[in-house]
Amino acid sequence: MTITPSMRPFLTLYYREIRRFLKVIVQTILAPIVSSGLYLLIFGVSLGERINLEGGLSYLAFLIPGLVMMSVLNNSYQNSSSSIVSGKFGGDLEDWKVVPLSPTAILWALSLGGLTRGLIVGLMTFSVGQVFFYVMNQQFLIPEHLGLLFLFLMVGGLSFSMFGISIAFWAKTFDHISGVGSFVILPLIYLGGVFFSLDGLHPYWQLVSKANPLLYFINGVRYSMLGESDVSLAVALSVSCASLVLFYGIALVVIKRGQYVRW
Amino acid sequence: MDVKKSPLKISNLVKRYGSYTAVDNVSFEMKPGEIFGLLGPNGAGKTSIISCIVTLQKPDEGECTIFGQNPMDHPLDAKMHLGYVPQEIINHGYFTVEEILVFHSGFLKTWNNKEKIHYLLNRLGLWEHRNKKVKALSGGMKRRLLIAKALVHDPKLLLLDEPTAGVDIELRNSLWEFVMELKAEGMSVLLTTHYLEEAEQLCDRVGVIQQGKLRKVGPTKDLIEQLTQRQVSLIFRGDCANGIKSKYLVDVEDDTARFLIPQDLGIGELITEVDCEIKNLLDIRISEGSLEDAFVRILGEGRDQ
Ligand SMILES: Nc1ncnc2c1ncn2[C@@H]1O[C@H](COP(=O)(O)OP(=O)(O)O)[C@@H](O)[C@H]1O
Ligand SMILES: [Mg+2]
């Protein structure tokens, strides 16, 4: 593919996004990997020994896909939102407005930037999980449907990058960003079936969980890796793709209408 | 882009913040290759006008066109011809001076322009600082970085919003020298500044803004001529000055009689009018009206309205 001049602004912003998170790699890549590693060790290996799931599945195997998706979602959200917020704070955002960057170029550059970081952390989480899995089972956890796995990770990462963009444009302070992170995203992720299966829940809580869109992202990944999950593939796929379209629409409106002048 | 069209045309521009009208029906047009000064007290609306040009703010009424194109309707084309130096420093937390210039070039569809970037780094005295992050730069260096950024893609129209605010005199002079160079290369420049003396030297034409309204616009020389008077001091031998009578006389102090005369009155006419003995006249000192005098007068008239 040849690069035309009109693609330059988009490619530059995407490249800048990657350079930005690599400049603070300890915060953006290493710290999230350490925390997923700890989850795997404590919940998967240590507590997981005592948990029995139906069908002889080890708890570690159950946990790995959930944690991989959680890493992708969290880091995608963090990346695009913190990029915009720091841009609002320093004034970089004004630059984007006065150069020939179209709203869709900004949207895709930031979303792909977030997805890239999400996938890096997700892949590392997967690798750490594999190490633990090998130690426990003397074999690797081979994903059942590799193509589907990438599809779900991409759809999830892009959706959450776009969600991060929308929140960051709306936010007036750093507190808003971390507030949404801790009071909205984290509970939704934890209650979206990263750590537990719907089977064990009271029917009432099953119903509540099913209203959580993240359940479908996480179970989509679980199905792709293990070949089984709490919700059917078709439902997981449709809800995930519908979320992507929704988040895309919201983010595009926000980028078109948003304020680029600094705080 | 149509290079024959005006680099910048502002038509009936209105910008409100809530119920406050910051820009009130402003219209003016720049000529290709000129330096145009937008002058006015703090809060007059200069930055708001520039923000509308670069689409950081959306005009409530009217429009701005850049070489005939409205950047609101043709953002991707019109913005290519624009170099913008904001009034406020941009902090770019993560990147070094050189990285910022490379990224900004990319945003403007310009790449492999290392030579240009190195030229600008050298020309603006940033070469030694090219690997520093912005927060490690002094205020003056941060401002020069903004100027370098605005020029990476050889724009045809440069907008400078108070580029010399908080910059020491030496740097200010070298900056203006640079701006004159850019003009010589054919760039059109719109600038706002507080330093009227500099505006007088630099600007081919100026517009004076007060409370969002454009009070006056015209060639700098013409405004000074129309709105100020020349001050002429005649210095006489002995106490001859005391006997002087003239309708232009302002005051007499020791041996000096001071007159304010219209720009079109010749010195000969004044001397004839004064009717003194030429042999007693020791010296003549003339000081021309300045842009500052004209500015003060325009604002004074504006306040009376
Ligand atoms: N974003 C904004 N929101 C509300 N008021 C503003 C905003 N920007 C500028 N103003 C007000 O508009 C007026 C003009 O400001 P500005 O254009 O910055 O003037 P200048 O650049 O001539 O000093 C000022 O009274 C200022 O307080
Ligand atoms: Mg201003």
Q: What is the pLDDT of residues B182-230, one digit of tens each?
A: 999 999 999 998 889 989 999 999 999 999 999 999 999 999 988 988 8
Q: Comparing C-alpha atoms, which of A103, A115, A62 is closest to residue A228?
A: A62
The domains of chain B, with CATH numbers, are 9-224 (3.40.50.300), 230-288 (no CATH)
Give the up-direction half-sphere exposure of residue B305: CA atoms within 13 A in the CB hemisphere. Answer: 10
Q: What is the mean pLDDT of chain B?
A: 92
Task: Choose from A13, A17, A99, A101 for mutation: most chain B CBs within 10 A.
Answer: A99
User: Torsions phi, psi of B23, nearest 5?
Assistant: -130, 125
Question: To the nearest whole angstrom, how far is the Cα of A90 from the nearest Cα of chain B?
Answer: 5
The alpha carbon of B8 and the centre of ligand 2 are apart by a number of angstroms equal to 19
Best to test chain B binding among A28, A95, A98 (most B CBs inside 10 Å): A98
A259 CB-near residues (< 8 Å, 6+ apart) = A169
- Asked if B38 and B202 touch (Cβ cutoff 8 Å), the reply is no
**Which protein residue's CA is at the shortest distance from atom 1 of ligand 1?**
B17
Strand-pairing partners, residue B218, are B206
Nearest to B80 among A19, A94, A100 (CB): A100
Average pLDDT of chain A to the nearest whole number: 91
Nearest to B91 among A13, A90, A102 (CB): A90
Q: Give the residue with greater pLDDT, A41 vs A150.
A: A150
pLDDT beyond 90 at A175: no
Kindly report the nearest CA distance between residue B186 and chain A, in angstroms.
21
Residue nearest atom 26 in ligand 1 by C-alpha distance? B43
Task: State in Å, rounded, how far the first CA of chain B is from the last one.
Answer: 40
Percentage of residues of chain B with pLDDT beyond 70:
100
Distances (CA, A) of A172 to A86, A181, A258: 11, 15, 12
The token pair at B142 is 């941060």
Examine the pLDDT at B236 and tell me if it is beyond 80: yes
Nearest alpha carbon to residue B119 among B164, B181, B186 = B181
How many A from CA of B87 to the centre of ligand 2?
6
Q: How confident is the model at residue A167 (pLDDT cuts 50, 70, 90)?
A: very high
Q: In this predicted structure, what is the pLDDT of residue B245?
A: 85
Question: How far, in Å, from the CA of B42 to the mean position of ligand 2?
Answer: 7
- In this prediction, residues A104-131 reach a mean pLDDT of 97
Strand intervals (E) in B46-109: 61-65, 82-85
pLDDT level of residue B1 (50, 70, 90 thresholds): low
The number of the ligand 1 atom at minimal distance from the alpha carbon of B48 is 17
Give ipTM to 2 decimals: 0.90
* Burial readout A59-98 (b: 16 or more C-beta within 10 A, e: otherwise): bbbbbbbbbbbbbbbbbbbbbbbbbbbbbbebbbbbbbbb
Q: How far apart are CA B154 and CA B108, in angstroms?
A: 10
The pLDDT value recorded for residue B230 is 87
What residue of B is the nearest CA neighbor of A96?
B107
**pTM for the whole thing?**
0.90
Positive or negative, the CA dihedral A60, A65, A70, A72 is: positive
- Residue A196 Ramachandran class (φ > 0 left, ψ -120 to 50 alpha, else beta): beta
Cβ atoms of residues B158 and B188 within 8 Å: yes
State yes or no: pLDDT of B49 exceeds 80: yes
Nearest residue (by CA) to ligand 1, atom 12, is B22
**Most confident stretch, A86-90, B66-70, B276-280:** B66-70
Least confident of A107-116, B126-135, B281-290: B281-290
- Outline where DSSP puts E strands in chain B: 9-17, 20-29, 35-39, 61-65, 82-85, 157-161, 188-192, 205-210, 213-219, 230-236, 249-253, 256-261, 281-287
A76 — pLDDT class (breaks 50, 70, 90): very high
pLDDT at B88 over 70: yes
Q: Which residues of chain B have a CB within 8 Å of the CB of A13? A: 106-107
Contact A91 B82 (CB under 8 A): no
Give the alpha-carbon dihedral of B247, B251, B253, B257, to 10 degrees.
Answer: -30
- pLDDT for the residue A47: 82
Contact A92 B90 (CB under 8 A): yes
User: Which residues, 6 or more positions from B116, have their beta carbon under 8 angstroms from its beta carbon?
Assistant: B105, B110, B152, B154
What are the chain B neighbours of A9 within 8 Å (beta carbons)?
106-109
pLDDT of A173: 81
- Which residues on chain B are in Cβ contact (under 8 Å) with A97? 54-56
Which of A222 and B288 is assigned the larger pLDDT? A222
For B305, the token pair is 């309205």
* Confidence bin at B85 (pLDDT 50/70/90): very high
Find the closest chain B residue to A105 by CA distance.
B107
- Write down the pLDDT at residue A263: 67
- Give phi and psi for A27, each to the nearest 5: -70, -40
**Mutation choice for ligand 1 from B13, B16, B17, CB with most ligand atoms inside 8 A:** B17
Distances in Å between the alpha carbon of A154 and those of A35, A112, A149, A220, B188? 22, 9, 9, 12, 47
